[in-house]
Chain A
Amino acid sequence: MERSRRSFLKIAGISVLGVGAKPLSQALAAAQGSKTGPDPRALPGKRWAMVVDLKKPCPDNCRDCFEACHKTHNVPSMPNPKDEVKWIWNESFPHAFPGQEHDFLDEALKKHPVIVLCNHCDNPPCVRVCPTKATFKREDGIVMMDYHRCIGCRFCMAGCPFGARSLNWRDPRPFIKELNKEFPTRTRGVVEKCNFCEERLAKGQKPACVEACKEKVLFFGDLEDAGSEIRRLLKVRTAIRRKPQLGTMPQVYYLV
C-alpha cells in the first residue's frame, strides 16, 4: 500500500510535468520572439538629441510638428489655458532664450518662432527632485515619465527650468480630439512631457515631429555617432542651447 501510493505520486508528478511541458516550452519560445525582446528594427542610438534650425522658414501657421506630436501621444486640448498640457510648442526668441536677445538682433531671427520641448538634459533636475523615481533618465539620454508611478507632487515642474512639464489638472480623456489607440492616454493628477518618441524609436521610426516637418527644420539623431546628420550640422553651423549656464546640459540644439 505504502509503496504503491508513493509510486502513484511519482507517476502523477511526472505526468503533470509532462502535460505542462508543452505549453511551457511554447511560452518560452514565444518569449524569445518579438513580444518581449527589443524590436530588431529599433533605431540604435547611444545619446539621442534634437537639432532645430532657426534659419529655415517656419511660418506662424506651420504647426505640423505640434499637431503630429500631440495627435500621436493623445495630448488633450484643454479649453482652459490654466489646465493646458503641452509637449512641444512655440515661443518667441526672447522668451525661449531670456537674456540672450538684444536690440540689434537679426529681425528674421527675432520674429522666428522657436520650437521648444523637453530638453532631455544630461543632468536633469526633474529626475533629481522626483521622490518616487517616476521620472528617470535612460541610458540613451531620454528622460522618461512613468505615469503609473507619479504621485502628482509637481516637484519636477518646479525643478524644470524650461517649463517643459505639464500636469493633468483634469481627466484628459474627454479632451482628446482624435484617439490614437497605439499610445496610452493619461489619468488626471500625473505629470507628462515629451518622450522623444521613444515608442517610435523602438520601432525604427523617427520622432513624429521630425517626420511631420516638411520644411526640414527639425533633425534627430545620435550624438555619439560621429557620422550622424546632427553631428555634421553641429560641426558646420553655430548652435546655442537654452539656459546653458544652469548646467543641466540640454540636448536640444538651436542652429543660428
Chain B
Amino acid sequence: MLEKALVGSRKYYGWVSILLLFMGVGFICYLLQLSEGLGITGMSRDVSWGLYIAQFTFLVGVAASAVMLVLPYYLHHYKTFGKITILGEFLAVSAVTMCLTFIIVDLGQPARAFNVLLYPTPNSILFWDMVVLNGYLFLNILVGWTVLSAEKKGLAPPSWVKPFIYISIPWAISIHTVTAFIYAGLPGRGFWLTAIMAPRFLSSAFASGPALLILFCLIIRRLTKFDPGREAIQTLAKIVTYAMLVSIFFVLMELFTAFYSKIPEHMHHFQYLFVGLHGHTTLVPWWWAFMIMAVVAAYLLVNPRTRSDERLLAVACAMVFISLWIEKGLGLVVTGFIPNPMDKVFEYSPTWPEVFITLGVWAMGFLILTVLYKIAISIKEEKGV
C-alpha cells in the first residue's frame, strides 16, 4: 500500500518538499546540538526542561485522543465514525513518533538512550512512559494498517485484530496518565504536585486531539474526493466541546486550591503565569492568550448555532488547539520550574536552534501523517466510500 504515497499531485509534492526542508533545517540544528551539547538551548540549571519536553507532553495528548474515535466506533458500534477511525489511529501514530523523537532530542547523551532498556528501572515513571508510548505506537500501526489492508481488499478486518483494538482503548488512557505521573509525583514542585494532573491531561487531550482531527477532516474534504461526513464532524465537535469545558473546569479547580489555601509553593507558580513574579513576566501574555482563546472557543462550541457553522467551528477548533498547546506546553512544563526550589525566578526562552529542531520534529510528524493519510485516502477514494 506504501506505493500510494509515491504518486500524487504537484500540490502534494510541494507540501512534502516543504516538510522535508523543515526537517533538513532541524536536522542541521540537531547536529549542532550533538556537537555542542544542550548548551545551545535556552534551558538552564533552573529550568531544566523546556520546549522539547513541552511538545512531548502536549503531543501525548494528541496521540491519546484517537481513543475518542476508536471507543465509540468499536465499543458502541457508532457507525458514523467508521470512515474516519483510521484518521484518528494514524494521527496517533504520527503524534507518538513525535513524542519519542522529542524525548531523544532532549537527552544529554542520546547515544545512551538504550540504557533505559539495558537497566530497566520499574521505580522510574520514565521507564513506564517508554513502555506505554512504544506499546501504543505498535498497537496503532498494527490496527490501522490491518484494518486498512482489509478495506483495500474489500474484506472485513480479520478477527484476530479485535483484541488489539480493545487493548488500545485503556492503553490510550495509560499513555496520558503515565505522562502526567512524570510530573505529579515530585516533591518540592508545588505546581505539579496535584492529584488532578492525570484527569487534567486527559481532558485537554480529548479536546486538542479531536479539534485537530476536525481541522484535518475539513481540509481533506476540500482537497480530496473523500468526504468524512458532516455528522462525524459534528459528533467530534461535541466531544471537543465537553472535553474543553471539563478542561477549563479542571484549571479553575487548580486555581481554587492554590489561591484559597494560600500555600506559597502552590500559589507562586500561578502568580507567575497571571501577573508575573518578582518582576518576571515572560509567560504572562501567553497565559492570557490561552485564557481568552479557551473562553472564546468554549463559547463558539457550546452555542449550537456557531458549532454547526463549519467555518466558525474551524476557528473554534484552531483556538482550542493553540490555547491547549500554550497551556500544556509552555504553561505546565516551564512554570513547574519557576520559581526554582530556592524560591528564585530564572526565566526560560528557547533559542533559535532549539526552535528549528522543534519545528523539524513537527515537520517529521506531519510527513508521517501526510504519507499515512495519503495512503488511507487513496484507498477510500478507490473504493468510493
Chain A residues engaging chain B, CB cutoff 8 angstroms: 80-86, 91, 94-96, 98-99, 125, 128-134, 149-155, 157-163, 166-171, 187-191, 243, 246-248
Contact = CB atoms under 8 A, between A and B. Distances in A.
Given A153-B106, A157-B48, A91 B342 contact: yes
Contacts of A95: 342-344
Contacts of A162: 188, 341
A188 B107 contact: no
Contact of A167 (B108, B110, B115): B108
B183 to A, nearest CB: 8
Contacts of A134: 115
A135 to B, nearest CB: 10
Contacts of B119: 132-133, 149
Interface stretch (B37-45, B134-142, B289-297): B37-45
Interface string B111-126: 0110110110101111
Nearest to A171: B37
B156 interface: no
Interface of B: 36-39, 41-46, 48-49, 103, 106-110, 112-113, 115-116, 118-119, 121, 123-127, 130, 182-183, 185-189, 264-265, 336-337, 340-344
Contacts of A171: 37
A51 to B, nearest CB: 21
Contact of A98 (B39, B46, B264): B264
B342 A96 contact: yes
Given A163-B46, A189-B38, 13 more contacts: A83-B45, A85-B45, A128-B123, A128-B124, A131-B115, A151-B110, A152-B38, A161-B186, A166-B45, A170-B36, A170-B39, A188-B36, A243-B187
B124 A155 contact: yes
Q: Which 4 A-B pairs have the closest CB atoms?
A: A152-B108, A161-B188, A189-B108, A188-B37
Contacts of B39: 80, 82-83, 169-170, 188
A190 B109 contact: yes
A132 B341 contact: no
Nearest to A187: B109
Contacts of B118: 132
